[in-house]
Amino acid sequence: MKKPANRFSTRLIAWQKEHGRHDLPWQQTRDVYRIWLSEIMLQQTQVSTATPYYLRFLERFPDIATLAAAAQDEVLEYWAGLGYYARARNLHRCAQAIVAGHAGAFPASAAQMAELPGIGRSTAAAIAAFAFGQRGAILDGNVKRVLARVFGIEGFPGKLAVERELWALAESLLPERMAPGEIEIYTQGIMDLGATLCTRSRPDCGKCPMRGLCVAEREGRQGELPTAKPAKAVPERTVKVSVFLDGDRVLLQRRPSSGIWGGLLALPEGEPERLAIALGLIPQTSIPLPELRHTFTHFRLTLSPLLCRVSAPAACNEPGMVWLPLTRINDAALPTPIRKILAALAASTPTSPARAAPDT
């Protein structure tokens, strides 16, 4: 009788060959740059959302050297809308580190990859498998869910002890003997199983290759496993932002490179009257705009915008301040909630129509 680990890998590989995804834009290639880009974009982002961004990004930055030589502001513009902007900043830093420290060639081992900005243990193993056929375990969110359910792993996966248990399990499940190309099939298979069948809600157990082997399916515990994160109060933060509008252009401020919305353009924060005086703006009218709530991983933010129509100099000499036409909001590196505020404003401003950006 086969061990559970052997049954798991055998079933997974057979299922992936017949039912897994094989036509994604970053598949059927050994180009490590394309594979790396896709793995970073797919962190915290679904395939359907990431795909158009991937294709557009690749058209502008076709290789590591081009990405490394680009300005961070432009990289962020091509990332705008995907969220979790630290990924884009780390992607840029990683490209520069590869050019500076590896002569522009991506390291060929998962251990070396894991030392680069934005590439952790799991992502490094995935890149090494798809680009170089190297044997290694991955443990992203989808994989944690699959393993917790199939093998009945208790406890919140974010806890260090539980994560260590899952890593040990993931390593033990790797087939001892693999035919050429099977590590890629296995790795893609465990990703696809979590993304398409063993989903967070309403898993399709009837089509799952682990039916009969899965503890959660056998015991009817799909809703209990993996164990949810312990609930705690989510901090609330309210911020006043000023929408200074001069004709059809709005004043934006470049955020610091680290922290919330690092490197992106956002609305200036603070009391409008004080800001207007400091910036040499002449207020004409001001009206409050609807508040907008946005949830981050660790807190909820309420933006309280005030529209201030002003007359202003042609240029703003304050560091980090730029005037942006409302017609360009879909091309600028803006956080999603700021883009929503400005899109609504543009739609109500007859002199500067703008199509609404998709909510990503």
State the virtual CA torsion across 163, 164, 170, 174 in degrees, nearest 10. Answer: 160
The overall longest dimension of the chain from CA atoms, in Å, is: 81
State the virtual CA torsion across 359, 192, 116, 334 in degrees, nearest 10. Answer: 0
Instruction: Tally helices (H) and strands (E) across the chain.
Output: 14, 7
In degrees and rounded to multiples of 5, residue 200 shows phi and psi of -60, -45
Exactly one of 18, 39, 154, 273 is catalytic; name it.
39
User: Radius of gyration of the chain from Cα atoms?
Assistant: 24
157: CB partners within 8 A, 6+ apart: 144, 145, 148, 163, 166, 226, 227
In degrees and rounded to multiples of 5, residue 274 shows phi and psi of -65, -40
Tell me the C-alpha distance between 203 and 218, whole Å. 13
State yes or no: is 39 an active-site residue: yes
Distances (CA, A) of 113 to 69, 118, 186: 20, 10, 20
Tell me if residue 343 falls in helix, strand or coil: helix
Tell me the C-alpha distance between 306 and 290, whole Å. 9
Answer whether 282's CB lies under 8 Å from 309's CB: no
Distances (CA, A) of 279 to 12, 57, 123, 321: 61, 35, 45, 9
Q: How many CB atoms lie within 10 A of CB 116?
A: 21
Catalytic site positions: 39
